[in-house]
Structure 1
């Protein structure tokens, strides 16, 4: 990310202490009753207003409760061990990795399309819905920001999988609920963009959740496509995942804040939703997602009769909640958490609308 503020220049990592990644049960963004220990208490800072340079539920099915509880306890044990016992071994995750490889837990962190994803002549609109890249807090733990900033609030990345720099925020506690991407996540997102280019996918618009991990993923994908200066990012609050607005919307960077850092965002874009309920149930989240995706469709119906390809960068639950109404499914309200666990970083779902019938379908594009 190109920061144009001298204060945003950060030091390079001074050490490379090995850190175990969080377990596979934490790969999902949304986790009922488990949005970190932090989310069970108030943030130690007033976030009802922003000033200066603030750049800016429910559990799953009862049948899964015992399994989820076991996973939560296991994750806590791993977190405790990670913070207090140094790990002296070589890890491939601490250097740029091949996103096609396994994450070490038996499932791929990154999945990539293979073969051409060109549209057919009968298609007039496509949504390419993508989960963001690897999160810093999922790799280093929920309290990563407590050790990555010194007493003077200067960012000190101590591991090579930290991003080399971060934009300035008025308070580091904002990072607790709005995490960036790891270095690996940034590189993999750019690589995905290059792959799209080689598979002849050329987006005409790009939408992103306001969460930093999603905006950074969008930036990197467009960079890989060579379109970062041609396609402005439309930041849509309605794409936020369930529970993300618990502490209000001011914890997230605003479009004008991204613009100050030289990011190509669409400042003229009028969001579909500006207020996201701080407390929301799964059924409400499904309906919100339906409203957002249908409104995007409606707005583009009025823009151009020609084929429109939309990148939509959001969260682990988004491939489910943004497509169910399009393809005529029923919401999996009670099973949303389990479904989200199966969505890898950068996993992509392609939906196409037939020009004549206006019916939507999911197009299989294959995975490598």
Structure 2
């Protein structure tokens, strides 16, 4: 019997080889040399996730614990960075999507540009969706509810927001506000260009809880370039406007975007309390590569400050794609 995925033996090959090298390093370091595990290294001190304040020991009222939060979250694991050039393996001659790996989306909905758009505007893996669900679950167990959720127009960000809300068991009336201005710097995509973002109607038809009537604060043209200053300005304008409105009403807000979204949110929100003389120009952080999938940042007001998120982070091990044919050499000495 032949299966559809048998003709995709090279799918994710290069990425898998990179992962196997990383796993070999991990095995040697942790297992053979008996060094500290990741939990010992990153969480040496016990943290009371439900009750920690700005410095870990500030006790807050029940009302404060549930309101006044601003969160910024990176999207989950993405298909293209997991499998590499995946589109050529997963769309047949009729441009119909066929899943070739269990961690890939079960289906992909119709959108303008078809497979070419998916190649430039990647979906999440199944693991990526679960990562986002866990964050929502963590917030729910910490007693936090959200009143507004804004997502970058990139598909991976909308999917992350949708799954996070599922884990949160959010009120059905809570919808995702798709805000194109939260997209990352367009200059990073100059080599291959940007696909047109999926419209709210396309996203709704695909099953995502988006508000089709929402009017973005700023529109963004995927066909034009921008300067870094343009990137900073559009993100800051949206973030500061939303946060100022939410602060007045005591609402909790979530921005779901990219690694840069966490940095931009922390920078833009702290500037709300600064005088013009204190303002300094934004610079891209040297730590962006240390922001993992579904990383969560949290800020509290009066004055605005970064605080420990009310739920713990997560980590998952890397895994390469298994090639069953290696078992044909079973019993053969290496």
Partners of 2:126 and 2:51 lie apart in 1 by 27
Contact 1:18/1:159 (8 A) holds in 2: no
* Distance change >3 Å, CA 296–CA 201, structure 1 → 2: same
Partners of 1:13 and 1:348 lie apart in 2 by 37
Deviation of the 1:321 alpha carbon? 1.4
The gaps in structure 2 that reach 5 residues or longer are 24-36, 53-59, 272-278, 314-334
- Matched residue, 1:339: 287
**1:166 matches 2:108:** yes
* Distance change >3 Å, CA 117–CA 176, structure 1 → 2: farther
Partners of 1:236 and 1:114 lie apart in 2 by 34
SS in structure 2 of the partner of residue 167 of structure 1? coil
- Matched residue, 1:360: 304
Partners of 1:13 and 1:128 lie apart in 2 by 41
> Superposed, which structure 2 residues align to 1:208-247 within 5 Å?
208-227=151-170, 229-243=172-186
* Distance change >3 Å, CA 339–CA 276, structure 1 → 2: farther
Contact 1:324/1:331 (8 A) holds in 2: no
Partners of 1:276 and 1:353 lie apart in 2 by 33
* Distance change >3 Å, CA 135–CA 292, structure 1 → 2: same
- Matched residue, 1:267: 212
**1:140 matches 2:83:** yes
Partners of 1:309 and 1:160 lie apart in 2 by 35
**1:156 matches 2:98:** yes
Two-structure CA RMSD over aligned residues (Å): 3.6
- Matched residue, 1:183: 126
Partners of 2:143 and 2:73 lie apart in 1 by 17
TM score, norm. by length of structure 1? 0.64
* Distance change >3 Å, CA 205–CA 281, structure 1 → 2: same
Partners of 1:19 and 1:180 lie apart in 2 by 16
* Distance change >3 Å, CA 154–CA 228, structure 1 → 2: farther
**Richer in helix (by share):** 2
TM score, norm. by length of structure 2? 0.70
Most deviating of 232-241 and 168-177: 168-177
The gaps in structure 1 that reach 5 residues or longer are 1-11, 22-77, 90-100, 108-112
**1:351 matches 2:299:** yes
Deviation of the 1:214 alpha carbon? 0.3
Which of the pair has more CA radius of gyration?
A: 2
Contact 1:245/1:276 (8 A) holds in 2: no
* Distance change >3 Å, CA 249–CA 353, structure 1 → 2: farther
Contact 1:13/1:159 (8 A) holds in 2: no
SS in structure 2 of the partner of residue 207 of structure 1? strand
